Structure 1
Amino acid sequence: MNPQVEFNLALILFLPWFGILAALYWIYPRQPRTTARRAYDAVALAIASALAAWGMHWSMLNADPHAGAIWKQVLASSISYGLFLLVMTIALIARFRLFKAPRPNASR
């Protein structure tokens, strides 16, 4: 296997799943969809992607060399996925607090 592909295999295999999660994060909830929210979402997705890539590379370089090649990939996948989900969870909670949808007046 090409060494560059092997080094990035964890990220390559998780890219479709990261794409699905990113699309769901971007699409829902549909309202309010302001320019500020679009910018916030774009920054959150960029940070999550960058941190996931960094975590994958860090874990590949720091994994125990005696554990075997497959365990480097397992560690890289776990770290990368965990960091992506951590950033997305924090961003989602912060987005709900920052961009609350206006509630209609309930007249009784």
Structure 2
Amino acid sequence: MSNVAAQPALALILFAPWFLILATLYWCYPRQPRDARRRLFDVAALALAFIGCLLSLHWSFGVADRSYGQLWPQILATSVGYGVFLAVLGGAFWLRRKLLVAR
């Protein structure tokens, strides 16, 4: 893999610890109910957040205007990927409360 091919993944690698912390907090709270429906919903939400983050990282890295400098694609990719990850987890947290927790 060349350096150019690895650049879009750099943002994901740098943010991986923070994404792991957010994913763990999403998975653990609230503690109840913890049935099979909730676990399936959480796995799907986390997978969707990760896939959305990956797709947005690659997309934003590709469309970044390089006239602002060589670092701008990384900055844009990181910002957009983080925003997508948070948006998906935030939406899933809200939806989970409406569908699974408030019975």
TM-score of the two chains, using structure 1 as the length reference? 0.88
Letter in 1 for 2:69: G
> What whole-Å deviation, never above 9, does each CA across 1:18-77 have from its counterpart, x for those lacking one?
111001100111110000000000000000000001000001100002111211111001
Letter in 1 for 2:67: H
Structure 1 unmatched runs, 5+: 103-108
Q: In the alignment, which residue of structure 2 is the partner of 1:85?
A: 86
How far apart are residue 101 of structure 1 and its match?
5.5
- Please tell me whether residue 100 in structure 1 is matched to residue 101 in structure 2: yes
Letter in 1 for 2:65: D
- Please tell me whether residue 76 in structure 1 is matched to residue 39 in structure 2: no
Q: After the TM superposition, list the runs of 4 or more consecutive aligned residues in structure 1 that deviate by more than 6 angstroms.
A: none
Distance in 1 between the 2:8 and 2:28 partners? 32
Contact preservation (8 Å) 2:57, 2:80: yes
- Quote the sequence identity (%): 48
What is the aligned length? Answer: 102
Structure 2 unmatched runs, 5+: none
Distance in 2 between the 1:49 and 1:7 partners? 14
Q: CA RMSD in A?
A: 1.4
TM-score of the two chains, using structure 2 as the length reference? 0.92
Distance in 2 between the 1:30 and 1:3 partners? 43
Contact preservation (8 Å) 1:31, 1:101: no
How far apart are residue 98 of structure 1 and its match?
1.0
Larger CA Rg, structure 1 vs 2: 1
Q: In the alignment, which residue of structure 2 is the partner of 1:42?
A: 43
Letter in 2 for 1:14: F
> What whole-Å deviation, never above 9, does each CA across 1:71-95 have from its counterpart, x for those lacking one?
1111001000000000001000000
